[in-house]
A = this chain, B = another copy of it.
């Protein structure tokens, strides 16, 4: 992912405050929440039977679009296809997804299949081939069964609708080892018009920060220039999707796409003023919600494991420290075992690549069950193991890390490491 100039930082608290103030209103649904967006899910039998495995997002109005993709050197064919389109100036109208076969490590043949998929969608929807983005996830190294894909595309085009149900169908169709569908939507008023941002995503393995380690699709009816949409997205992923890790494996297929069709009718956002800031916050609310959902539904996860780092010397330090903790296998196993093994957390901070004084660090476990100081001045605080166990038994656990160095903070999301993670991944292909 490109490094972007640091934007003005918005604290997490500030965001929550704004939500409470009603500036950003949660809404139902996902990719069809914004005006003028259609979706569909279909059983195309790409790899599995009796489940939806292809999805469509469609906007009759051409959309400006932005994409962020895996930083893996090994990039799946659809990543190459989409990057070509989103880096150009053209508008897009559709996204076609399959969740059976990743179309990664498939060479020229795999890329040709992207083109054929786009052609099929273009024909079925009456749009241009280069207005079709493609995404896929699933087994690496297999070629797509193109007859089923093209038949699936037709089903999707015929079944498309702008209802919440259609959005739900699409959100289900992109799932692989996910146990629940993942959607989010918010509304915000920009230039006197209601603007909606909604999205869906899927995890739940091969999830590690470094662009976005999953598939995510966000639609919005905002009027905005392509330039600012790209900047808003690239800035926001640094604090949302890039702060998620399930297993440390950065996938070959990671794709995050944002489509904006302008249906809200607000004055086009073409400079970094108040409207832009407002849109960024709405986008952030959706992205953060989706990112948290990916972490909480990580393969085999029994708990969402959040690390909040405060008072770090710099934003980048705060991010590195937070990510190091949620990536630690030992810490994750301790969370699974409801074991307040804070030494492993301090150890994970210690190898994050950030200089600090271990003698200053303070650690707390927090959630709805309590707020417990477990380490002060780099040593054990006098806490009750019983209370710690109670907090760690909840489905969401936050460790608050106070570095006592500066003013920067960051949040990262992961999950515990369970027997089921091993079970799922020891035999994924069969």
Contacts and interface: CB of A to CB of B under 8 A. Distances in A.
Interface of A: 71-75, 102, 104-107, 139-142, 205-206, 208, 210, 247-252, 327-330, 333-334, 336-337, 339, 341-344, 346-352, 354-356, 358-359, 375, 377-380, 417-419, 421-430
B249 A73 contact: no
Contact of A330 (B107, B206, B343): B206
10 contacts: A73-B351, A73-B354, A141-B379, A205-B330, A206-B344, A248-B248, A250-B350, A252-B350, A339-B427, A341-B428
Nearest to A340: B429
**3 interchain residue pairs of minimum CB distance:** A140-B343, A337-B426, A74-B350
A427 B403 CA distance: 27
B105 A358 contact: yes
Contacts of A206: 330, 344, 347
A329 B425 CA distance: 9
A346 to B, nearest CB: 5
A351 B210 contact: yes
A104 B343 CA distance: 8
Contact of A422 (B247, B342, B421): B421
B73 A380 contact: no
A71 B339 contact: no
A330 B424 CA distance: 10
Contacts of A342: 141
Contact of A72 (B74, B75, B351, B379): B351
Given A337-B426, A379-B106, A421-B422, A74 B330 contact: no
A336 B427 CA distance: 9
A208 B348 CA distance: 12
A336 B379 contact: no
Given A343-B105, A419-B419, A426 B336 contact: yes
Copy number in this complex? 2
Nearest to A330: B249
B141 A73 contact: no
A337 B427 contact: yes
Contact of A251 (B142, B333, B347): B347
Which of A248, A356, A378, A422 has the most chain B CB atoms inside 10 A of its CB? Answer: A422
A71 B329 CA distance: 18
Contact of A347 (B72, B354, B424): B72
Report which residue of A74, A336, A359 has the largest number of chain B beta carbons within 10 angstroms of its beta carbon: A74
Contacts of A249: 328-330, 344, 347-348, 351
A414 to B, nearest CB: 12
A211 to B, nearest CB: 10
A331 B172 CA distance: 27
A379 B105 contact: yes
A307 to B, nearest CB: 15
Given A140-B344, A249-B330, A429-B341, A350 B419 contact: no
A83 to B, nearest CB: 15
B333 A377 contact: no
B247 A330 contact: yes
A346 B105 contact: yes
Nearest to A327: B248
Contacts of A356: 73
A251 to B, nearest CB: 7
Nearest to A139: B343
Contacts of A339: 426-430
A73 B349 contact: yes
Given A250-B347, A252-B346, A341-B429, 6 more contacts: A74-B350, A75-B350, A104-B343, A140-B341, A339-B429, A421-B422
A426 B334 contact: yes
A94 to B, nearest CB: 27
A336 B141 contact: no
Contacts of A250: 347, 350-351
A303 B352 CA distance: 29
B73 A333 contact: no
A274 to B, nearest CB: 39
